[in-house]
Amino acid sequence: MSEFKYTAKDFKSTTEVRWCPGCGDHAVMNAVQRVMAEMGLNKADYAVISGIGCSSRFPYYMNTFGFHTIHGRGSAIASGVKSANPKLQVWQITGDGDALAIGGNHFIHLVRRNIDINVILFNNKIYGLTKGQFSPTTDRGAKTKTSPFGTVEDPFVAGQLVLGSRGTFFARSIDGNMKMSQEILKEAAEFKGTSVVEVLQNCVIFSSGIHEEITKGENREDRQIYLKHGEKMIYGVNQDKGLVLINGKLKAVTIGVDGFTMDDILVHDAKDNDLYLHSALINMTIPEMPMAFGVIRAVDTMTYDYAMEAQIAEVQQSSKIKNCDDLFRSGNTWEVK
């Protein structure tokens, strides 16, 4: 399909990677580099933009164009990059603090505008680079350096913020699950629009094990459901559990128990414009329900960058003004002789 043949190695810069050993960021970066190699697009067309935070060092480690910007503003700067040149493949690397606290406004407006950018949101529920303060995704009551007696506020659910901002693409993955991350990131890359991929990431120093109940241990398959468009919503160690809709509410059931059969199990439709089920899937939490992973929502609509380019082309075609000389001489002018 493409004239560009790369391996993941081609996307690694010579800069020494300085994330802590065991940090989840390493695995996500490997997944990104493999996806980029697989896409077969011109390496020079990639622009990786980040804000501030541990994960935001990401661009320095990529052998692509990269811009490590300022705290919270990655979404706005990436918006400028993509709007200026829609041919580019723009990836934004951000974290729970960068995207959802200081950069919350830019993040929701990026999603609302639906600019074709791939956003990887590393969610470790903590401020790592400043050494352990609570973030907007930290669970209520969590004890951190700035909440020694526990936080007294509820966290954001990233996916809900995306839906509330009229998001067209939301997916969730786990840092340690390279295969899943790769599959999801590839879909995100191919999707036209703002693709937000939340990665549950483990900070080995300040919030180690924060996602462990979901991501680790025996029978973890019973606590995760990997949703795929057009496929039944089944999960579990034995793939015998599934999701059904009863009285408008999602319910986790076991096939063959209480009279539930495979026919009762819902089929995932990521392309449904209706927010209802996507919202319910995003909100599922353990232990009553499994945590939803995979591409939960992917609804094709017009992107901002495309619309902006199309509008310019349309006006250019009809306008008599072709350059500055035309502009300056248009309308009311007079000659002094």
Partner 1 sequence: MTKETKVIELEEVAIRFSGDSGDGMQLTGTLFSDATALVGNDISTFPDYPSEIRAPQGTVGGVSGFQVHFGKTKITTPGDKAHVLVAMNPAAIKANARFLEPSATIIYDADSFTEKNLKKAKFETDDPFTELNLLDYHKLAVPITSMTKEALIDSEMDNKSILRSKNMFALGLVSWIFNRPLEIIEDALKDKFGKSQKVLQSNIDVLHAGFNYGMSMQHTTPQYLVPAADIEKGLYRSISGNYATAWGLIAAAEKAGLELFLGSYPITPATEILQALSERKDLGVKSFQAEDEIAGVCTAIGASYAGDLGVTSTSGPGLALKSEAINLAIMAELPLVVVNVQRGGPSTGLPTKTEQSDLMQAMWGRNGESPMVIIAASTPSDCFEYAFLAAKISLESMTPVMLLTDGFLGNGTQPWKIPTMADMPTITPRIAKDPSKFKAYRRTDETLAREWAFPGMEGFEHRIGGLEKDEVGTVSHVPENHQYMCELRAKKVAKVADMIPDIEIYGHEEGDVLMVGWGGTYGHMVSAARELKKEGKKVGLAHFNYINPLPKNTAEVFSKFKKIIVCELNLGQFAALLRDKVPGFTYHQFNKVQGLPFLIQEIKESVTKLLEE
- What is the Cα 35 distance to its own chain's centre? 15
Q: Which of 34, 73, 125, 297 binds partner 1 (CB under 8 A)?
A: 73
Q: Of these, 27, 47, 54, 200, which contacts partner 1 (CB under 8 A)?
A: 47
Of the candidates 63, 147, 279, 283, which one interacts with partner 1 according to CB under 8 A? 63
Q: Which is nearer to partner 1, 131 or 143 (by Cβ)?
A: 131
Work out whether 337 is an interface residue with partner 1 (CB under 8 A).
yes
The answer to the question of residue 54 lying near partner 1 (CB under 8 A) is no
Site map 92..131 versus partner 1, x via CB under 8 A: -------------xx--x----------------------
CA separation for the pair 159, 282 (Å, rounded): 6
CA distance 160 to 154: 13
3-state secondary structure (DSSP) of residue 62: strand
Total residues interacting with partner 1, rule: CB under 8 A: 57
Do residues 39 and 189 touch, judged by C-beta distance below 8 A?
yes
* Shortest spacing between CB 63 and partner 1, in angstroms: 6
In Å, how far are 98, 99, 110, 175, 240 from 74, measured between CA atoms?
8, 8, 10, 21, 42
5 sits near partner 1 (criterion: CB under 8 A): no
Whole-angstrom Cα Rg for the chain? 22
Binding residues for partner 1 restricted to 209-268, rule: CB under 8 A: none
| Residue 204 C-alpha from the chain's centroid | 22
Tell me if 323 contacts partner 1 by CB under 8 A.
yes
Compute the C-alpha angle 196/199/205, nearest 5°.
140
Q: Is residue 329 a contact residue for partner 1 (CB under 8 A)?
A: yes
Region from 71-79, 132-140, 164-172, 287-295 binding partner 1, contact rule CB under 8 A: 71-79
DSSP symbol at 17: P
- The distance of closest approach from Cβ of residue 337 to partner 1 in the complex, given in angstroms and rounded to an integer, is 6
Closest CB to partner 1 among residues 85, 239: 85
Could you say which of 79, 124, 138, 173 contacts partner 1 (CB under 8 A)? Answer: 79
Q: How far is residue 199's CA from residue 122's CA, in Å, rounded to a whole number?
A: 5
Residues 6+ apart with CB under 8 A from 98: 50, 51, 52, 53, 55, 56, 71, 72, 74
CB-count exposure of residue 12 (10 Å: 0-12, 13-18, 19+): middle
Under the binding rule (CB under 8 A), the answer on residue 85 touching partner 1 is yes
AA letter at 97: G
| Locus of tokens 């209802």 | 276
Where does this chain touch partner 1 (CB under 8 A) — which range of 209-217, 246-254, 284-292, 325-333? 325-333
Q: Which one of 30, 83, 147, 151 is in contact with partner 1 (CB under 8 A)?
A: 83
- Contact positions with partner 1 (CB under 8 A) in 301-320: 308, 311-312, 315-316, 319
Among 42, 130, 151, 279, binds partner 1 (CB under 8 A): 42
Q: What are phi and psi of 313, to 5 degrees?
A: -60, -40
Report the alpha-carbon distance of residue 82 to residue 119 in Å, rounded: 13
| Contact residue for partner 1 among 33, 55, 69, 194 (CB under 8 A) | 69
Q: Which is nearer to partner 1, 77 or 162 (CB)?
A: 77
The verdict on whether omega for the bond into residue 148 sits within 30 degrees of 0, i.e. cis, is no
Q: What are the residues binding partner 1 (CB under 8 A)?
A: 13, 15, 42-47, 49, 59-60, 62-70, 73, 76-85, 87-88, 105-106, 109, 308, 311-312, 315-316, 319, 321-325, 327-329, 331-337
